[in-house]
Amino acid sequence: MNQKSHISFTLNGETAEVAFAPHKTLLEVLREDLALTGTKHGCELGECGTCTILVDGRSILSCLMLGLDAEGRRVTTIEGMAEGGRLHPLQDTFADLGAAQCGYCSPGFLLAAKELIDKLPNPSRDEIKEALSGNLCRCTGYIKIYEAVELAAARVRGEAMELPRESLYGCE
């Protein structure tokens, strides 16, 4: 019971090893044993999407995955999204459009959105809604999030897209 388990895996591009009580979820291991508190929790029951991370490029709810199951996997958390000091285009557009208000759900949304645009470089508004439907946000009404994803996707595609005026100043 008190024996700790040990895993090694790839965490944000680096090899990591960690020992923890075997019943812990990956969410708990990340936050409590690896001090990566960027991954948040809203319910710890798989209902809100706040603890979304990427495992082998796929979004998963870290509150529903045992830490033990991360052995040998490739895990990306919000701390690994920027490259060096350079923000991922999604992080830039979330910041520019106020898609992060309180910011508590933002890490989960950013990673879920990253999975989407990695797979689908030019998602429609409906595809964005579908992809993010497992993540709850109580601040934004989601609209600035959609706009930020669309803008980031365009930039990743290499299109020089400006911040839309209606998104910044309201409709005329």
Partner 1 sequence: MKQNGNNGKPLNVVGKPFRKVDARAKCTGQTKFADDIFLPRMLYCKILRSHEPHALIKKIDVSKALALPGVISIITGKDLPIPYGILPVSQDEHALCIDKVRFIGDPVAAVAAIDEDGAFDAMNLIEVQYERLQTITSIEEGVMIDEPRIHEYGDGGNVHKKVSLEFGEVEDGFAEADLVREDTFFYEGNTHLPMEQHAAVAHFDSDEKLTLWSSTQTPHYVHRALTKVLEISASHIRVIATPNGGGFGGKSDPFNHEVIVSKLAMITGRPVKCTLTREEVFYCHRGRHPVLMHIKTGVKKDGAITAMHFKSFLDGGAYGSYGVASTFYTGALQTVTYEVPRYKFDGIRVFTNKPPCGPKRGHGTPQPRFGLEVQLDKIAEALSLDPVEIRRNHLVKPNSVTANYLRIGSMGLGACIDKVVERADWKNKFSWPVTEPRAVASGSETQLEWQDPLATARGSVTRKLPYGKGIGIACSSYICGAGLPIYWNNMPQSAVQLRLDRQGGVCVMCGSTDIGQGSDSILAYIVAEILGIDPFDIRVVTADTDLTPVDLGSYSSRVTLMTGNAAIQAAERARELLTIAVAEKLKVPIENISFAERRAFDVENPEVGVSFAEAVVLAESKFGTIGTVGSYTPPRSPGKYKGAGVGPSPAYSYSAAIAEVGVDADTGMVTVERIWIAHDVGKSINPVLVMGQVEGSVYMGLGEILMEEMSYRANRNVVHKIPSMLEYKSPTTMEMCDVKTFLIEDPDPNGPFGAKEVGQGPLLPVPPAVANAVYNAVGVRVDEVPITPEKVLKALREKSKGRDGRFGPESIPSVDWPEPLRVLTPDEGGDGREMPRVSVHS
Q: Is 60 in the site for partner 1 (CB under 8 A)?
A: no
**Considering the rule CB under 8 A, would residue 78 count as an interface residue with partner 1?**
yes
Q: Which is nearer to partner 1, 16 or 139 (CB)?
A: 139
* Residue pair 162/143 in contact by the 8 Å Cβ criterion: no
Cβ of residue 33: shortest distance to partner 1, in angstroms? 11
Question: Which amino acid, 16?
Answer: A
Three-state DSSP class for 82? Answer: coil
Q: Segment near partner 1 (CB under 8 A), from 64-72, 96-104, 115-123, 154-162?
A: 96-104
95 binds partner 1 (CB under 8 A): yes
Tokens of 82: 């920027």
The residue with tokens 């090893």 is 17
The answer to whether 136 and 66 have CB atoms below 8 angstroms apart is: no
Report helix, strand or coil for 40.
Answer: coil
Residue 136 engages partner 1 in binding (rule: CB under 8 A): yes
The residue among 72 and 165 lying less far from partner 1, judged by its C-beta, is: 165
Measured from the CB atom, is 37 or 122 closer to partner 1?
37
